[in-house]
Amino acid sequence: MRISVDPIASPRGELDRFAGSPAKRASRSFVCAPTIAAGAVFAACALSMGVAASAPLGAQTPTRIDSGIVVGGDWLQANELPLDRDALQSGQVTVSLRRHRWSVDAGWLRIARTLSTVQGGMLSGGPLLHWGPVLFAPTIGVLGGRAQASRDSTGYDFVGPGGVAGHQPRYSYSSAATAGGGVGLAVEAPLYRIIGVRAVASQWFFSGAPLEGDRQRFLVGAGLSLRVGR
């Protein structure tokens, strides 16, 4: 593990002491972002089920993607907006082997927060549960990769003109290997032939010195899946 002073690691807006913290701004976005993402996905689920129920016999209707090789991509920043720094947001890319009643997934996961990043390769799996054309996929997974974090370790308080108190942050940066485990749930509905739309939520826990005192990560987002082989 290496530790050094990293002035670039401070988030945008830290020097504006009196404009409010990133946590306060994030809390105002917490409700609307995941609601919009999840609402769009579940609306697609309802539409798919309605089409399947009303389509005449023999008509070509979307079918759930529960077999074959499936490539997926998900945006996972919905519950942690805004991300108060210029960085790639949270997301994952996966390749799944599905066999009607179970699936095994391998891929890459990135979890970005204002003052930390966790990313690495992951492996997960679990059963496939069916409800009409909708597919429910609970998973248990593991991750191996790297954790990076910045902490206001040497900042100081001061009193400005007029007796107004402030804080000058000074950030230290650390990076180390990490291992983690988590559970998740994806709800997927067919969109068009081999394309599906899904909502995703997961809870992760990580090791590593940079994440001491802040080891949990909860993710909410939405994405697409594409069957590329049987």
pLDDT in tens, 29-59: 433 444 444 454 444 444 444 544 444 444 4
Q: Contact at 8 Å (CB) between 143 and 182?
A: yes
> What is the reported pLDDT for 26?
39
Q: For residue 16, what are its two tokens?
A: 């504006």
Mean pLDDT of the chain: 81
Q: How many residues does the chain have?
A: 230
One digit per residue, pLDDT tens: the chain, 230 residues? 444 434 434 444 443 443 344 443 434 443 344 444 445 444 444 444 454 444 444 445 568 899 999 999 999 999 999 898 899 999 999 999 999 999 999 999 999 999 999 999 999 999 999 999 999 999 999 999 999 999 888 888 888 888 889 888 888 999 999 999 999 999 999 999 899 999 999 999 999 999 999 999 999 999 999 999 88
> What is the reported pLDDT for 60?
52
Question: How much of the chain exceeds pLDDT 90, in percent?
Answer: 60
Backbone CA torsion sign across 119, 120, 125, 130: positive
CA distances from 87 to 9, 107, 108, 160 (A): 11, 20, 17, 32
For residue 45, which phi and psi values (nearest 5 degrees)? Answer: -60, -45
> What is the reported pLDDT for 105?
98
H helix intervals, the chain: 22-30, 32-54
Q: Using the 8-state DSSP alphabet, how is residue 51 labeled?
A: H
Domain 15-229 of CATH type 3.30.420: no
**Sequence ranges of the domains in the chain:** 15-229
